[in-house]
Amino acid sequence: MKCAAYVINMMPLSPNNLKSPYELMFGKNPCMKHLRVFGSICYVHIPVSQHSKLDTKARKCIFVRYDERKKGWKFMDPKTHLFVVSRDVIFDEVSLYYGVAQEGACYKPMNPEASNLPI
Task: Give the dihedral of Cα atoms 96, 102, 106, 108; nearest 10 deg.
Answer: 180
Instruction: Say which amino acid occupies 57.
Output: K
Range of 58-62, 108-112, 113-117 with top mean pLDDT = 58-62
Residue 104 has pLDDT above 50, yes or no: no
CATH number for the domain formed by residue range(s) 36-97: 2.30.30
Q: How far apart are CA 37 and CA 17, in angstroms?
A: 28
Distance of CA 40 to the CA centre of its chain: 6
Distance CA 43, CA 62 (A): 8
Give the model's pLDDT for residue 102.
47
- Does residue 5 have a pLDDT over 60? yes
Residue intervals of the chain classified under CATH 2.30.30 are 36-97
pTM of the model: 0.65
Q: How far is Cα 86 from Cα 64, in angstroms, rounded to an integer?
A: 12
Position 47 pLDDT exceeds 80: yes
9-31: pLDDT as tens digits: 788 877 657 888 888 888 888 88
CA angle at residue 84 from 79 to 87, to 5 degrees?
A: 130
What is the arithmetic mean of pLDDT over 51-72?
88
